[in-house]
């Protein structure tokens, strides 16, 4: 079934929004904004984040390249199980690395992100939680809490736009996008609880 020019344009916009709103982008920007607001050195946190992101992206690419996965989004249940396991391990190793370089707040953030992965794994039998939306929600709330509340004025519409893109691309249902928002808010609450302990 072919789509008209308007449908093709909507799909291109949705794909661009989905790429810009990828968890690798949103969480990295949030972590760097929090580090900058505390006048912390950006190099070591950026290196930790890049290691986590590149590990997960390289694994996803390799799975598609060897035809084990249909798409890097890991949409099939078996693909999602493998993806969630690798992502959780990468976040845990990243948290250990952040703790090792003396950045316990970043460690808390990575562990909070792992709670989204845990929610996705726990709910996998019933739905495919939108981790794009979950990580974006957490990123906006963490940045608003640590940097400036005004971030919400920009962040909330961006989360809505990202949710639209995931629906438009048929990667998720409304229920799965809503679950992503709730998981992201819960992860923010975890971060808020852990951050004071981090100092």
pLDDT digits (tens, 9 = 90+) for 76-85: 888 889 999 9
| pLDDT surpassing 50 at residue 71 | yes
Other beta carbons within 10 angstroms of residue 67's beta carbon come to: 7
- 59 or 104: whose pLDDT is higher? 59
Question: 169 CB contacts (<8 Å, ≥6 apart)?
Answer: 11, 14, 15, 18
| pLDDT surpassing 50 at residue 2 | no
Q: What is the dihedral of CA 39, 44, 46, 50, to 10 degrees?
A: -170
Question: 25 CB contacts (<8 Å, ≥6 apart)?
Answer: 19
pLDDT band at 183 (very low <50, low <70, confident <90, very high): very high
pLDDT band at 7 (very low <50, low <70, confident <90, very high): confident
Quick one: tokens of 87?
């992502």
Q: What is the mean pLDDT of residues 40-48?
A: 83
Q: pLDDT value at position 39?
A: 78
């Amino acid at each position: 079934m072919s789509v008209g020019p308007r449908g093709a344009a909507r799909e291109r916009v949705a794909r661009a929004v989905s790429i810009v709103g990828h968890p690798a982008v949103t969480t990295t920007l949030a972590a760097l904004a929090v580090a900058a607001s505390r006048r912390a050195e950006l190099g070591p946190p950026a290196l930790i984040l890049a290691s986590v992101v590149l590990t997960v992206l390289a694994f996803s690419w390799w799975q598609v390249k060897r035809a084990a996965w249909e798409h890097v989004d890991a949409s099939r249940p078996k693909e999602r199980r493998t993806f969630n396991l690798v992502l959780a391990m990468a976040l845990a190793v990243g948290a250990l690395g952040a703790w090792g370089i003396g950045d316990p707040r970043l460690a808390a953030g990575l562990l909070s992100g792992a709670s989204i992965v845990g929610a996705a794994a726990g709910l996998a039998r019933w739905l495919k939680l939108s981790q794009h939306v979950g990580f974006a929600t957490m990123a906006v709330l963490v940045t608003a809490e640590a940097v400036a509340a005004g971030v919400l004025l920009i962040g909330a519409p961006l989360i809505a736009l990202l949710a639209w893109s995931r629906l438009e691309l048929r990667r998720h249902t409304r229920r799965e996008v809503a679950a992503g928002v709730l998981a992201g808010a819960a992860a923010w609450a975890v971060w808020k609880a852990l951050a004071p302990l981090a100092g």
